[in-house]
Structures are given as structure tokens and as C-alpha cells.
Amino acid sequence: MSHSVTITRTTTSTTNTSYIVLNTGYIKTFPGILKLFQLLIGVAVVTLMAMHYSDSVYYRQQQYLFHYLMATTFMIGTFCLFLACLTSLSTGGLIAKTIYELIYHSVAAILLLVSSACLLIKLRDNRHDAYMAAGVLGLVNTVLYFISAFLAHRSYRGI
């Protein structure tokens, strides 16, 4: 029985210190750039929500808290993924071939879309610039997560 074998060779550049190996080549890849931007936008959204979150009853409504929680959750998850891919020579290439990235980015995109839409709908009557910016940045992050989910779907290998 014959079968075909595809061999993919990946070149990575590293910055080697005595304890930590950094896969700096991962940051130069499209998935690496996407994760970096997702992380930076997530930090911006969480910062905006944290700086303007108040103890008053008005700001403790579900839409604000839901967006705050979703942005925080996926910021932390993306940080862990990005750090794993950055500190390992093989993780960046291997994790993209698993179903985890597809599920993670799909769930992140859907939940951030819902939380951003709920927040922006809530703000249509009462405009607060910081929350409006957080909602719009949430939508931008949603697009980035959808792109990552599409790339993860293309590179997924059901083994």
C-alpha cells in the first residue's frame, strides 16, 4: 500500500539566553501577528473597562459586566497561547494543527461579538465615550478572532 507524505520545513530564529528560549520567528508569522494584536486590543478593552467601571448601580448592569468578563477571559487565554508559542520552538507549529485553536478562536469570536453588540446596544441611549470605544475595540477584536478561527480551520489536521 502506498501513501504520500508531506514534509514541511519551518525555519525559526531564536534569541537564546541561559534559561529562556524565545521563538522570535513566531512573531513574524501572520498567526503570531494576529495573536499579538488580539492581546494588545484585549489589554486596551480591559483597561478602558477597568478605569471607568464604577460602584454605582447603573454601571453594574449585565452588559458592562459581560463585556468586561469576556474581554478579560480572552485576553488571558490569548496571552497564554501567545506565551506558549513564543517560548517554545515547536508549539507554534503544533498547536495550529490541533482542534484547540479552532474551538478557542471560534468561541472567542462569538462571545466577543455578543458582548460587544450588547454593550453597544445598551449605549445607544446613553453615550459614554470610554465604553463606546471598548465596544468598538471588542468588535475589531472579534474580526481578528474570526480570521484566526479561519486560519485554524485551514491548518487543522484531524489526526
Q: Which three cell numbers stand for residue 92?
A: 507554534
In the predicted model, is pLDDT for residue 56 greater than 80? no
In the predicted model, is pLDDT for residue 15 greater than 90? no
Residue 34 CA to its chain's centroid (Å): 8
Beta bridge partners of 33: none
Residues 148-157, mean pLDDT to the nearest whole number: 86
Nearest to 39 by CA among 89, 5, 85: 85
In 3-state terms, the chain is what percent helix, strand and coil (to 5)? 70, 5, 25
Mean of per-residue pLDDT scores for the chain = 84
**pLDDT of amino acid 20:** 73
Of 49-63, 79-93, 98-112, 118-132, minimum mean pLDDT range? 49-63
Residues 30-52, mean pLDDT to the nearest whole number: 94
* Separation of alpha carbons 86 and 83, rounded Å: 5
pLDDT digits over 84-114, tens only?
A: 888 887 777 788 778 999 999 999 999 999 9
Single-letter code of the amino acid located at 9: R
Q: Is the pTM of this model over 0.95?
A: no
| Band of residue 115 on the pLDDT scale cut at 50, 70, 90 | very high
| Band of residue 5 on the pLDDT scale cut at 50, 70, 90 | low
**pLDDT of amino acid 18:** 56
